[in-house]
Amino acid sequence: MTKAPAKPTRARAASGKKKTPTVSAEPTGDGRVVIEAVEPSVDRGFLATKAAEGDVVEVTADIFSDGHDKIAADILHRKVGEGEWQRAPMHFVDNDRWSGSIAADAIGAHEFTIEAWRDAFASWHAEVGKKRDAGQIIELELLEGTALLDRAIETVPESQLARLEDLRARLNGTDAEGRWGVFDSPEMREAMAVWGPRSNVSRYRQVLPLWVDRKRAVFSAWYELFPRSAANDPERHGTFDDVIARLPYVRDLGFDVLYFPPIHPIGTTNRKGRNNSLTAGENDPGSVYAIGSEHGGHDAIHPELGSFDDFKRLVAAAAEHGLEIALDFAIQCSPDHPWIKEHPEWFDWRPDGTLKFAENPPKKYEDIVNVHFYGASLPGLWYALRDVVAFWIAHGVKIFRVDNPHTKPLPFWQWLIADINAKHPDVVFLAEAFTKPKMMKRLAKVGFQQSYTYFTWRDDKAGLTEYVSELNGEMAAYYRPNFFTNTPDINPYYLQTSGRPGFIVRSTLAATLSGSWGIYNGFEICEYEPLPGREEYLDSEKYELRARDFDAPGNIRDHIAALNRARQENVALQDVRGTQFLNAWNDNVIAYFRATPDRSNAVMVIVNLDPANVQSADYEVPLWEFGLDDSGTIAVEDLLAGHASTLAGKVQNITLDPADRSVVVWRMSLPK
Amino acid sequence: MTKAPAKPTRARAASGKKKTPTVSAEPTGDGRVVIEAVEPSVDRGFLATKAAEGDVVEVTADIFSDGHDKIAADILHRKVGEGEWQRAPMHFVDNDRWSGSIAADAIGAHEFTIEAWRDAFASWHAEVGKKRDAGQIIELELLEGTALLDRAIETVPESQLARLEDLRARLNGTDAEGRWGVFDSPEMREAMAVWGPRSNVSRYRQVLPLWVDRKRAVFSAWYELFPRSAANDPERHGTFDDVIARLPYVRDLGFDVLYFPPIHPIGTTNRKGRNNSLTAGENDPGSVYAIGSEHGGHDAIHPELGSFDDFKRLVAAAAEHGLEIALDFAIQCSPDHPWIKEHPEWFDWRPDGTLKFAENPPKKYEDIVNVHFYGASLPGLWYALRDVVAFWIAHGVKIFRVDNPHTKPLPFWQWLIADINAKHPDVVFLAEAFTKPKMMKRLAKVGFQQSYTYFTWRDDKAGLTEYVSELNGEMAAYYRPNFFTNTPDINPYYLQTSGRPGFIVRSTLAATLSGSWGIYNGFEICEYEPLPGREEYLDSEKYELRARDFDAPGNIRDHIAALNRARQENVALQDVRGTQFLNAWNDNVIAYFRATPDRSNAVMVIVNLDPANVQSADYEVPLWEFGLDDSGTIAVEDLLAGHASTLAGKVQNITLDPADRSVVVWRMSLPK
């Protein structure tokens, strides 16, 4: 056997100076501990993952290295622009997967990455432990361990020095077994895990963005009404004061966001008449989406609604009722919009010098024109639109429902939302896109805090299960669904024929499957009259003033209020994540379970999707989620009807009669 | 309606100068056409996708933009360092997914990315076509189309000018319908697709690396032997000349890679004896993996094997027999390796000044010591190891089987392979890692051209199906399996008890499920004697010279030769991709189909995995792959037995008797 030189560490030091490489690429040795497949990541880590204030964000990654050395890893995270990295330890899960978590404790832009290293002491401890257990002599190994401790003592912060020196002192005057006992002690292992030598420290190549919103971005209940109908009189244009008078009604339904379609001046050129007719009657108010007249554009209020002072009073009164006002941000203009004269370069013109109207050939929309976003519009128009949003923020609005964002450039939204949120991290944008799935997703990825969904068209068990599961998968990192049951544009076929039970079904699904949900007014009185053969409302409020009897018999106001109360009182219903569908052996009956990770709050919902017939089903109670075996008993509290009971055994049967109840919403807990 | 200024284009020009933004982030407008989810990508696009020379590499991406404008996209690709991008057009598949392909026509480093844009002419054509079909007047639109053509004429290369001007001339003197006809003509649309105005051109954020190997990296048949046993006489140490004498034998089996375990001088200190015993007998040759003695190290030849001249003759003779020599690259050293004296700083030393042996506590390996790769070893050792590889390349070796790469740092392999391949893109490295899946994958991701697999332990239908499907999924972008039936270290339990039929089964699976496969000699004569209770060979050749009767009765040499012939003659078997498992209603019978995309070559394999019993199964003939209905007839040529027949109808029955045939390998084609 070859003898080593007496001081190998000196030999190392002598040759430590790197030679000139003989090829261009000198090896750096970086990346010995591999960190890959870091999640959550949006668009391969280039766009922000989203969280809500108070969330615990789980971060996972594949982390491994060559050989058998022990490794360790931290998440590094911080609020953007706020100095040093904070560290959160990761732990091994299985199959080279590691996990850790960071608390989303402040709204705004955060960032995180991962650092991993080889832990010399833990490696030494594991190896020497095996040798010692096999009865081998470990005297030399103990010297190696002592050297590791001495290295730690050299570099430890002053505050930790006594702790390590105390451990060092305990090694003196004891035999090998005694010293092993010191090295094997929890005190030593904990101290060395933090302060021991770390070699081959790897940093993940990307710093991943994380955006933290206020809670309302994921948990909100929306009520939509047209302020001009707030007088509830087709002969009198509603005002903001009329809306103020309706606030107690909306509050009593339990909603927390009150959303208005556009409130701006409406153009007269080519004004649409009732039911989207091409010619308006003398008193027809026109489409609220034909924005702009001689009274102003996107930063003006339609004169018949009231003044800015009235609007200010409305915002304040809403807040007193626990309601936040959301405005529509619809970029198109009526032909009378001031911008057309002030900024002709933002619009398209025909070869004959006329304005190019909006169209979707062969259809034409002659009451509106679209801006274009490039050429002479960039950046002037972009700033003007940003300033419109900033204007309404200055008037107390923090939530914007954005009309048809998928027909405007994605880079515009990415810039606009980042720009607004940089100053106002509490502002929330809802994307009203009903289009192909990848565009829907991309809008969320580039910044929209909330998104409309396909929920409106998912009314059977398979479709609901598949769609909600998709939303709960990788989409949950960036996509916050808002399940609207209906909108002024969408009168779903299901509701046109379902009668009252269908409204119970759809509101229950929306309110309990998604952190955010909403209704357009009239839903609560089971309004359903369609344009014949169309998925639209007859006498659409978009083109006329409407009155309704909100006390009409058969209304489901109490049911909606109960749903919103259940949502407020059960945190398991305040996010989109983690919905678990349960076995129910009837395709008309859907059952699901939602719970906090610690099961301190848990809700099971069972819905008869068939509005016309009694349906019975055997179904599985998720006893396993509470650590119970199949014969266990669970306490159940009916959140709609109020009574309490117990369920014993995993398989139960339920009968849901639309004439009586189509749904149950049960809070579950271990019996006291 | 507001009148436009007379020359809106002038107005645009005037305001085209960008204003000073009022916030820090000025919008650029970049990225209007979204390009995301680009595949193939390895490690999110940061490591190279692999292809073999002659491959057609399909590139896909999600590509979309706002609104209804038509978009188009090209793959941009080039050999690294060779100038301009080449373009390959992409086409729309569905759901915003686009696809295109690039030909891997030269070995070495390539790169690709994607460019996408809004196609103004195609958008105009689609919109105006709808208007015209709806009977609308399109005079103004035709002026707009003419303007697009004029813009193209302004920018088109000289070579294309006549083509566009001819189209422009055809617009003169004809009515609207006539001009529409010109615009709608294939000549116009093809010309404008290439030379028409492209707006909002987006480039994918990454340039993705693509490494192209020679074909042998994915399609190879390996035969492993110990040169020192080539005399086939346990009393006489084999020589390279003995190996030369065996070349016709290996050639006749149809292999194309002849792989040797280490051929370097073997240490004497702590030399292992037969069956891995701790003390060697006087004449025991030692483990070939205890590399290094007073005769030299990794760049020397064990003296008893012959000289460098002999080795040179062997390499040349092998080539004449269609065989390429593969060497083992095993980094550990015997205690007698010259490096220990020359470079003590590359090794670990104990506190008492002794050398630290290799160990996996509590096991010790006292005939070998490991180098370490960091500290004073970086970069000296790295260069030295690189130079070892370069040394053998200079001696005619282009394939290296790397021993236990997962116990050496990944950054070392990444650097070494890149460094060697930069000068020698035809050099292939096979990773002999049997470890956890993510490390296996990572070694391939950082550069290994071929990898050992879990095939050896996948001997039931479910395990084979799942594993081969995994290899054919996203792993196929970087992981080239080499299905070894056995190795000097692995004598699979299945083969220990299966008798001859098991060797037929395993060789057939290996040869037809993977582009590369291999056997360790003795397999062809159904050698199976284990160390009792272990998955290892009795009297392992790693520690002694061995003789065998390669003509022993029951040998499967003809079967192996037929398998290798079938592989050579059927391109469907020359890669790992696209294996389709077929329904066969018996868990002991596995059936699969492999074919070229155009089905010009197609092979079906059916294997009775049970070596002890006759098994029958109904199975599905993949008639649908040939466009046939379930009653169709397909021609079948038996590639092992040689006869031809037809199969009529989708469901067939087969009986496979291990005493007669355990497997069928059928070439399928449409009947003439």
- Residue-wise pLDDT tens digits, A80-108: 998 899 999 999 999 999 999 999 999 99
- pLDDT tens-digit readout, A621-655: 999 999 999 999 999 999 999 899 999 999 999 99
Chain B residues in contact with A145 by the CB 8 A cut-off are: none
Residues of chain B above pLDDT 90, percent: 91
- Residue B491 burial (C-beta neighbours within 10 Å; 0-12, 13-18, 19+): buried
- pLDDT tens-digit readout, A577-625: 789 999 999 999 999 999 999 999 999 999 999 999 999 999 999 999 9
- The C-alpha atoms of residue A506 and residue A456 are separated, in whole angstroms, by 9
The DSSP bridge pattern shows strands B257-260 and B324-329 to be parallel
Distance (Å) from the alpha carbon of A143 to chain B's nearest alpha carbon: 7
Confidence at A77, pLDDT banded by 50, 70, 90: very high
- The C-alpha atoms of residue A404 and residue A419 are separated, in whole angstroms, by 20
Active site residue B432: yes
List, in order, residues 6 or more apart from A230 with CB less than 8 Å away: A238, A239, A242, A243, A245, A246
Quick one: CA torsion of B283, B284, B285, B287, rounded to 10 degrees? Answer: -170
Beta bridge partners of A391: none
Contact B412 A29 (CB under 8 A): yes
Mean pLDDT throughout B309-337? 97
Range from A256-260, A396-400, B172-176, B442-446 carrying the lowest mean pLDDT: B172-176
Contact B408 A66 (CB under 8 A): yes
Chain B residues in contact with A373 by the CB 8 A cut-off are: 29
List of E strands, B176-255: 198-203, 208-213, 220-224
- Active-site choice (A115, A403, A524, A610): A403
Task: Find out whether B629 and B623 touch, Cβ atoms under 8 Å.
Answer: yes
Beta bridge partners of A537: A530
- Active-site choice (A432, A459, A541, A575): A432
C-alpha distances out from residue B164 to B41, B93, B145, B194, B445, Å: 39, 30, 13, 11, 48
Confidence at B12, pLDDT banded by 50, 70, 90: very low
- pLDDT tens-digit readout, B242-278: 999 999 999 999 999 999 999 999 999 999 999 999 8
Contact A27 B412 (CB under 8 A): yes
Predicted interface score ipTM higher than 0.90: yes
Range from A4-8, A47-51, A614-618 carrying the lowest mean pLDDT: A4-8
Chain A residues in contact with B127 by the CB 8 A cut-off are: 359, 361
Distance (Å) from the alpha carbon of B145 to chain A's nearest alpha carbon: 11
The DSSP bridge pattern shows strands B450-451 and B198-203 to be unpaired
Q: What is the pTM of this model?
A: 0.93
- The C-alpha atoms of residue A390 and residue A384 are separated, in whole angstroms, by 10
List, in order, residues 6 or more apart from B446 with CB less than 8 Å away: B47, B410, B413, B414, B417
Chain B residues in contact with A361 by the CB 8 A cut-off are: 127-128, 130-131, 134
Is pLDDT of B644 > 50? yes
Cα first-last separation, chain B? 72
Look up residue A623 and give its two tokens: 């006893």
Comparing CA positions, the residue from B262, B263, B257, B261 lying closest to residue B223 is: B257
List, in order, residues 6 or more apart from B336 with CB less than 8 Å away: A2, B267, B268, B269, B292, B293, B294
Active site residue B187: no
Give the distance, in angstroms, between the CA of residue A15 and the centroid of all CA atoms in the same chain: 55
Contact A21 B383 (CB under 8 A): yes
- pLDDT tens-digit readout, A505-550: 999 999 999 999 999 999 999 999 999 999 999 999 999 999 999 9
- Residue A147 burial (C-beta neighbours within 10 Å; 0-12, 13-18, 19+): middle
- pLDDT tens-digit readout, A420-458: 999 999 999 999 999 999 999 999 999 999 999 999 999
Chain B residues in contact with A63 by the CB 8 A cut-off are: none
Confidence at A110, pLDDT banded by 50, 70, 90: very high
Comparing CA positions, the residue from A62, A10, A4, A3 lying closest to residue A33 is: A62
Q: How many CB pairs under 8 A join A and B?
A: 252
User: Residue A108: left if φ>0, alpha if ψ -120 to 50, beta else—which one?
Assistant: left
Cis, peptide link before residue B338, omega less than 30° from 0: no
List, in order, residues 6 or more apart from A503 with CB less than 8 Å away: A485, A495, A523, A524, A526, A556
Look up residue A103 and give its two tokens: 């608390």
Comparing CA positions, the residue from B170, B428, A156 lying closest to residue A166 is: A156
Given this model, what pLDDT does residue B575 score? Answer: 84
H/E stretch holding A465: helix A461-471
Give the distance, in angstroms, between the CA of residue B194 and the centroid of all CA atoms in the same chain: 34
In the three-class reduction of DSSP (H, G, I as helix; E, B as strand; rest coil), residue A431 is classed as strand
Mean pLDDT throughout B294-302? 98
Of A8, A23, A360, the CB nearest to B345: A8
Distance (Å) from the alpha carbon of A62 to chain B's nearest alpha carbon: 8
Mean pLDDT throughout B341-359? 92
Task: Find out whether A480 and A449 touch, Cβ atoms under 8 Å.
Answer: yes
Contact A336 B2 (CB under 8 A): yes
Of B34, B350, B415, the CB nearest to A25: B415
Chain A residues in contact with B439 by the CB 8 A cut-off are: 64, 66, 96
- Active-site choice (B403, B459, B544, B575): B403
Is pLDDT of B5 > 50? no
Beta bridge partners of A422: none
Distance (Å) from the alpha carbon of A257 to chain B's nearest alpha carbon: 29
- The C-alpha atoms of residue A230 and residue A252 are separated, in whole angstroms, by 17
Mean pLDDT throughout B571-582? 91
- The C-alpha atoms of residue A419 and residue B362 are separated, in whole angstroms, by 61
C-alpha distances out from residue B210 to B84, B217, B219, B423, Å: 16, 14, 18, 17
List, in order, residues 6 or more apart from A128 with CB less than 8 Å away: A138, A141, A142, A145, A180, A183, B361
Give me the numbers of helices (H) and strands (E) for chain A, helices first please.
15, 28
- The C-alpha atoms of residue A5 and residue A27 are separated, in whole angstroms, by 27
Look up residue B140 and give its two tokens: 């103004």
Disruptive mutation site among A1, A123, A388 for chain B (greatest number of B CBs within 10 Å): A1
- pLDDT tens-digit readout, A468-485: 999 999 999 999 999 999
Distance (Å) from the alpha carbon of B8 to chain A's nearest alpha carbon: 7
Cis, peptide link before residue A89, omega less than 30° from 0: no
Packing angle of the helix pair A176-183, A120-133 (nearest 10 deg): 140
- The C-alpha atoms of residue B527 and residue B529 are separated, in whole angstroms, by 6
Task: Find out whether A431 and A452 touch, Cβ atoms under 8 Å.
Answer: yes
